[in-house]
Amino acid sequence: MPYGFTGKFVEVDLSSSKVRVVDVRRDLYRKFLGGRGLGSWILWERLGEVWEGLDPYSPENLLIVLTGPLTGYIAGVRLAITGKSPQSGGTVGSTIASEVGLELKCSGYDGLIVSGKAKDPVYIFVHDDKVEVRDASKVWGKGIRETHKLLLRDVLPELRKTPRFGEPKEPAMIYIGPAGENLCRFAAIEGKYAHAAAYGSYGSVMGSKNLKAIVVKGTGPLPPVYDVVKLKELIYKAIELVPKKAPRLRIWGTGQGPWRYGRDLSSIPVRNWQEEYWVEKSYSQYDLEVYDWVKRYWADYGCPLCCMKVTVLHRNGETVITDAPDYELLAYEGSNLDVWDVRDIAYLIWCGEELGLDMINAGNVLGFVAELFERGILTKDDLGFEVKWGDVKAFERLLKMIANKEGIGKVLAEGTYRAALKIAEMKGLKPEEVLKYAVQAKGIGIGAHGIRSGLDYPPISYVTSVQGGDHQSVAMLPLDAPPIVNEVWASLADSAVICQFNMLGGLDLVFDALRAVTGWNISKEEWVNEDAKRILTLQRVLLLLGGPDVYWDPRVHDDNPPRFYEPLPSGPYKGKAGDREEVKKLKVQYFSELGWDELGIPTKETLSRLGLTELEPAVERVRKRLGI
Amino acid sequence: MIVCIKFLGNLAELLGSEACLELNNCPSIAEVMWSLIKDKNVPVVPEHLIFLSGGKSVSPEDSICRFNELYVIRTLQGG
């Protein structure tokens, strides 16, 4: 078995409650590493032939929870989750800061594959070689905080039956809230109260399987590594270097972002992206410090950066313990909704997370609704109440209706893209008359980074990304462009399964660590030209297969949301807008760099060169559907 | 042989500055710690305790007689 891996996955079929341990082919680890890459391959191998017809909410879909070669070794632990996405119809490597990955590896597994559907609510408990499907009826319907507490109460006494000095017994866990249970198409998988694997909506995939949570405790060692001395050296280097390279992240987290993206770069969403600039009204992490909410730096396992902060706030009679809002959520529950008081923003985030919602996509939907209300497309009769900009109570009410699929919430729970189509139908409008207010890509609400000013994300970021609107994995030219959100590097972080912020210490650090753990001598060039292309090509094919309710046509859907072609109405970059001709040109260039044709369909030569010839029939199916 | 443990911080306020046990043989660190925790009703979770000597971590299974001085550290859980 390659160094750094256990070589085994544990597979749980919830329909039969059967558990089996499966070996993973050695060559697949080198080809796809783990996490996003390996998960996509497993999905292809098992479901590729029926992909287009497969309902992501059917028992046949898989929920795959994966570690990667660097999980547990290098600073900042993460976990990757994938499956057929109910949002994009493709795959998303959705990651969360969670010790579940570490505990899985210490239990002897590189990942967990969940198939089938349980008759009644269950959770999966993994404790070394003991893997059980357990009753979760008492936590079904509960918010994430109560779920966390009740599950701990359930398993801790059992784990503490054999206490040992220096061996913490608290398990790691991930879980869903009511939004996931009710199959809201932007339900997240949550952990530790405030962390989320959001993009992809795998929370709703868990809900479709009646799976409330996954609880893991491993007591074994991590798998042996190739060069332990070098690895130790690199761990100390990362601990020293990463906080030095990103001192503001250590002090403020990404929550210091609104200053930069709103005022300096004109790329923050304001009122559903009608504007991207603000200056007179300020809000950011600094304000959180002013209110003395930040109680402690919050580090996930091994993390020297501590960009999260434990925060306590009091609102509406509730004492809320959460993490201080990060940039994306400050933007989406703040400026995007015309909410400018950080206490209101933090409260809205807390409400949504408690329900198990992806709060980027939730903010995207809420802004969309407020604009439709402003324009008279949605009315008080449709919504049951008025939804005006800045109305925190109305937004809170909508979040609950969405998570519980009540009233208009049933339509909005489909996410901005599908909701736009349904609202157009309801109102007797042409789809494009509503879609022009939907700021999304491939069914996924885009992250809080605009393209119009030309100072933040490049024009094709979301257009050609294999993960739609995911702001942490976007398309860039040249292929090896340095930003860590470039999908070439994001696919590395998500497949090695580490926090992207490790890359702030330099890409060499990550490649050196990969070498020290696995013994594989992967160079940056090799990653860009082979490994990343292999993973992105595989994801692209699955995205184009799509279905069963929505199919993407590259001629139509490989594009920015219409709003990005409207000139910015304010700020120093007033008048700037996306340029359709430039996007077309860059898109073709990007496809060409990846070895895809002008529509972004991988060529036979590329599939062959990347060792993906098995995908040829799937590519033919895509061509046939598109009539080309 | 007498083994004494000095408490610092909150534990000292709660339990006094020192507690001693008389031993007949050379038990493991773990055995001694269990006795101390139980006898003195020390409010700690054993899993959060690690042991250091000379700046290096020490196994709880090691004999207590191997050490002149041992630091018992209560680790804080992250996350």
CATH topology of domain A244-432: 1.10.569
Q: Determine the Cα–Cα distance for residues A282 and A265; give it in Å rounded to an integer.
A: 15
The predicted complex's ipTM stands at 0.82
Residue A627 makes CB contacts below 8 A (sequence gap 6+) with none
Q: DSSP letter at A603?
A: P
A591 near A598, Cβ under 8 Å?
yes
Q: Among residues A35, A33, A78, which one has the least CA distance to residue A517?
A: A33
Domain ranges of chain A: 8-217, 244-432, 527-626
Mean pLDDT of chain A: 95
A262-to-A256, A265, A447 alpha-carbon distances in Å: 11, 6, 14
CATH architecture of A8-217: 4-Layer Sandwich (3.60)
Are the beta carbons of B49 and A301 separated by less than 8 Å? no
* A positions 271-330 inside 8 Å of B (CB): 298-301, 303
* B positions 17-56 inside 8 Å of A (CB): 29-30, 33, 45-51
Q: How many CB atoms lie within 10 A of CB A417?
A: 27
A594-to-A57, A72, A535, A543 alpha-carbon distances in Å: 31, 31, 11, 16
Residue B78 makes CB contacts below 8 A (sequence gap 6+) with A298, A299, A300, A301, A303
Residue A158 makes CB contacts below 8 A (sequence gap 6+) with none
| CA–CA–CA angle A113, A175, A156 (5° rounding) | 100
Identity of the amino acid at A503? M
Q: Determine the Cα–Cα distance for residues A276 and A384; give it in Å rounded to an integer.
A: 30
Are the beta carbons of A165 and B60 separated by less than 8 Å? yes
Q: What is the pLDDT of residue A253?
A: 86
Mean pLDDT of successive 10-residue stretches along chain A, which has 628 residues: 95 98 96 98 98 98 98 90 98 96 96 98 97 98 97 93 84 97 98 94 98 96 96 93 88 84 93 90 70 78 86 81 88 95 90 97 98 98 98 98 98 98 98 98 98 97 98 97 95 96 90 97 97 98 98 98 98 97 98 98 98 98 97
Q: What is the pLDDT of residue A280?
A: 61
Q: How many CB atoms lie within 10 A of CB A319?
A: 8
**B39-53: pLDDT as tens digits:** 878 888 888 888 998
Q: Looking at the complex, report in whole angstroms how far the Cα of residue A66 sits from the nearest Cα belonging to chain B.
A: 20
CATH topology of domain A527-626: 1.10.599
Beta-carbon contacts below 8 Å between A and B: 41
pTM of the full structure: 0.94
A215 near A126, Cβ under 8 Å?
yes
Q: Among residues A141, A226, A129, A221, which one has the least CA distance to residue A175?
A: A141
A291 near A320, Cβ under 8 Å?
no
3-state secondary structure of A572: coil
Interface test with A, best of B48, B58, B59, B71 (most A CBs within 10 A): B48
